Amino acid sequence: MQAQTAELIANSHKFALQISNLIVSYAISTIGAIIILCIGWLIAGIAYRWTRRSLTSFKRFDKTLIGFLSAAVRYAILIIVLVMVLGQFGIQTASILAALGAIGLAIGLALQGTLQNIAAGIMLLLLRPFKVGEFITAGSITGTIEEIGLFATEMKTYDGLYIMAPNSSLWNTPVINFSRLKMRMHDFKIGIGYEDNIQEAMRILKTIVTEQKEVLSEPEPVLFVAELAESAVIICCRYWIGIDDYWSVVRHTTAQAKTAFDKAGINIPYPQVTTHINKTDKI
């Protein structure tokens, strides 16, 4: 009986010693984890602010992209800190990284289209083929850029319709930007009758164009006969305009050419067929 009691007391002391050692060990691990978590959180915040401040100094960086990259740096550091904290409690970090990789792969496969739009959005924000306020055509989409997001780009058409285009569709399509360059050429073509004076028609067109202050003097306007069509001689007047005045100048030139040609008696023919009847003498 005394032997059993002594054995029970010894086992109790042994169990108590193991519990105390376990508590001390986990207490140290917990304190270390808290310290790592606090330091990591502080470093993540500093890295976030530093990245944001550094990218803001570059004028070509879009605000949306600055926020995305800054947040990505912050969360990357927090993930590393979380792995280190779990490692304090004896959890194998290799298995954690493998699990995170598997989760990332599963999310990537599930959100393949979304991630493609994000990647395209980042490239659009970096390379900037267009920016807010510019008028573009991309495939069948035409409109003014309202906002460039990470997933989609918002646009407004000339007739006031709203378009949300996925970034991947804009990235994989040739983009025509009508607003990027400072000036734009206009080929104004107009037909006159074969019986009309070509030099007079050219003189009138050149006067109409050069009298408009929005038309650039350099490069100088050029006039030439572009084509001898079936029903008309096609005259081309090639001149350059500031991009902001393009459409107003084009409309004014078109209207003034018709008015001036009518006043000068120069015909603007339309497709027509001339029939000649040969008269024969009666027998």
Could you tell me if 105 and 148 lie in one domain? no
Could you tell me if 79 and 133 lie in one domain? no
Could you tell me if 24 and 95 lie in one domain? yes
Q: Is 221 helix (H, G, I), strand (E, B) or coil?
A: coil
Question: What gap in Å lies between CA 248 and CA 213, rounded to an integer?
Answer: 12
User: What's the Cα-to-Cα distance from 36 to each of 26, 49, 51, 80, 92, rounded to whole Å?
Assistant: 15, 20, 22, 10, 17
Could you tell me if 22 and 99 lie in one domain? yes
Question: Would 71 be classed as within a structural domain?
Answer: yes
Tens-place pLDDT, residues 97-111: 666 676 666 656 555
Could you tell me if 65 and 23 lie in one domain? yes
Question: Would 62 be classed as within a structural domain?
Answer: yes
* DSSP-derived pairing of the beta strands 141-148 and 135-138: antiparallel
Answer with the residue of higher pLDDT: 107 or 47: 47
Could you tell me if 140 and 169 lie in one domain? yes
Question: What gap in Å lies between CA 102 and CA 98, rounded to an integer?
Answer: 6
Could you tell me if 194 and 165 lie in one domain? no
- CATH number, residue 247: 3.30.70.100
Q: Residue 198: give the domain boundaries.
A: 183-264
pLDDT of residue 81: 81
Percent pLDDT > 90 in the chain is: 36
Are 150 and 115 contacting, i.e. CB atoms less than 8 angstroms apart? no
Provide the domain count of the chain.
Answer: 3
Measure CA 53 to chain center: 23
pLDDT of residue 153 exceeding 60, the answer is: yes
User: Tokens 């409309």 label which residue?
Assistant: 251
Of 114, 113, 115, 142, give the one whose Cα is nearest residue 130.
142
pTM for the whole structure: 0.60
Tens-place pLDDT, residues 48-86: 888 888 877 777 666 666 777 777 788 788 888 887 777
* Averaged pLDDT for residues 247-258: 94
